[in-house]
Amino acid sequence: MVAADFNQRPMEIRERVRGLYERFPYPTPTQDLNPFRQGKVAELGFLQPFYHKFWPRETFRDDLDILVAGCGSSQAARWAAAHPNSNVTGIDLSEASLKQTRALADQFHLQNLALERLSLEDSGQLNKTFDLIVSTGVLHHLPDPAAGLRALRELLRVGGVIYWMVYAPLGRDAIYYLQNFLATLGVRADRLDAADIHALQELVSHLPPSHPLWQRRQQFPDLMNQAELMDYLLHPQDRPFTITEYHELSRQCGLKVQDLFNRAHYQIPAGRMNQKLLRRWNALDEVQRLAAGEQYRAALFRHDLISCRADRPEASFRLGGDWREWIPVRAPGLQVLDGQAFWPGHAFDDIRLSLAVPMRRFLREVNDKSSVAEIQRVSGVRVNKSLLQPLVDHDYLWFRQ
């Protein structure tokens, strides 16, 4: 499915990847960091509001040591602007990308940001450890993803977490069809001039309606930008992972999966399965259910997981005690209209949950401070744990202690 030249050696792949990003820094950089600094924009993983997805049993703090591994043209700057009390380190293979990040750091006076030109595999040269490591959209571009992830694991403190994202195969099949087409023609990013790039943009903009990428074009709204076009279609190394492979890679590298973002992407909507199928579904273990959900949806183009060190005690991140004393945290931007809840952070518009009037009353009282028991007293709504589980499965709530 994936375009690849199996005659390439790892160092050759790394140099071609570096060359791609030297010429086409990716992504098209953010120009204004003020919305991040003012808290008006919250990227997936930002401590406010996702801190307790990482550390559900700890009191919120924002003075962390954060590594953005493979930071591209502006990701580390966005994290530094959004977390002024944290020390943020950004590493990337591309000097051109780091140059753009440095320009943002100078423009917005980011005193809490340090940058180094390093690959993930060589990140041990930092000689530091971190509370949080963020690596989104990088590992699938490495000649040996496991080597990169192991290197990051060595930088992770025992109580720390890694938020990492890799591409998923089923939702990117349209991209891989075009990658293979261009590979068949011998098209390479390092051999294109301006006219070639324009011709490629024209080719993509006139895809036939039968092409899956034309049908899914809303999933890739930035495809026609020059940097994004090169990254999507002419990347020299692009290896997606199923959710099962994702879990296995985590295990091989001395990590364990602690949680995931967008759990609803892997759920089967209520009412789609009869009782017999539902019993089979419930008999699966968690990874098997996620894998089945990925196959059912057949359109996931990324996985976003939270991993921790395999030697991190489970008691440090698994909630315990009386569940009524747990404090629900509401997903940012969660909306309830006409009795249906939906979250704009989901990639698919059909992910919605019908809520009865009592559950709507309960949800209105969730303030990230009150326990379930306190909310029950205020709202007058009695709930049991099973009634709250659909809210968790749809990413509308998570809990802290």
> pLDDT tens, 223-251?
999 999 999 999 999 999 999 999 999 99
pLDDT digits (tens, 9 = 90+) for 288-329: 999 999 999 999 999 999 999 999 999 999 999 999 999 999
Cα–Cα distance, 51 to 62 (Å, whole number): 9
What value does the mean pLDDT take over residues 344-370?
94
Which CA distances in Å does 235 have to 94, 142, 155, 178, 214? 14, 11, 28, 12, 20
- Of 182, 348, 164, nearest in space to 241 by CA: 164
Helices 194-205 and 226-233: angle between axes, nearest 10 degrees = 80
Asked if omega into 27 is within 30° of 0 (cis), the reply is yes
Mean of the per-residue pLDDT values for the chain? Answer: 94
Cα–Cα distance, 241 to 246 (Å, whole number): 6
Equal fold, 11-169+238-316 vs 323-400: no
pLDDT digits (tens, 9 = 90+) for 163-177: 999 999 999 999 999
Strand partners, 163: 134, 306
Long-range contact pairs involving 347-350 (C-beta distance under 8 Å, separation at least 24): 347/219, 347/262, 347/265, 347/300, 347/301, 348/265, 348/297, 348/299, 350/269
Q: How far is CA 296 from the centre of its chain?
A: 20
End-to-end CA distance of the chain: 44
Q: What is the residue extent of each domain of the chain?
A: 11-169+238-316, 323-400
Task: Supply 198's token pair.
Answer: 């324009």
pLDDT at 136: 97
Query: CATH topology for 323-400?
Result: Outer Surface Protein A; domain 3 (3.90.930)
- Of 89, 45, 104, nearest in space to 261 by CA: 45
What region does 377 belong to: left with phi over 0, alpha with psi -120 to 50, or beta? alpha
Cα–Cα distance, 149 to 154 (Å, whole number): 9
Residue 270: pLDDT band (50, 70, 90) is confident
Q: Is the dihedral of CA 160, 136, 170, 267 positive or negative?
A: positive
Cα–Cα distance, 59 to 67 (Å, whole number): 21
pLDDT at 371: 97
User: Would you say 78 and 36 are in contact if contact means Cβ atoms under 8 Å apart?
Assistant: yes
Q: Is the dihedral of CA 369, 371, 372, 374 positive or negative?
A: negative
Q: Does the pLDDT value for residue 7 go beyond 60? A: no
pLDDT digits (tens, 9 = 90+) for 41-91: 889 999 999 999 999 999 999 999 999 999 999 999 999 999 999 999 999
Stated as kind and residue range, the H or E segment containing 215 is helix 212-215
Strand partners, 397: 330
Q: Which CATH architecture has domain 11-169+238-316?
A: 3-Layer(aba) Sandwich (3.40)
Cα–Cα distance, 182 to 389 (Å, whole number): 46
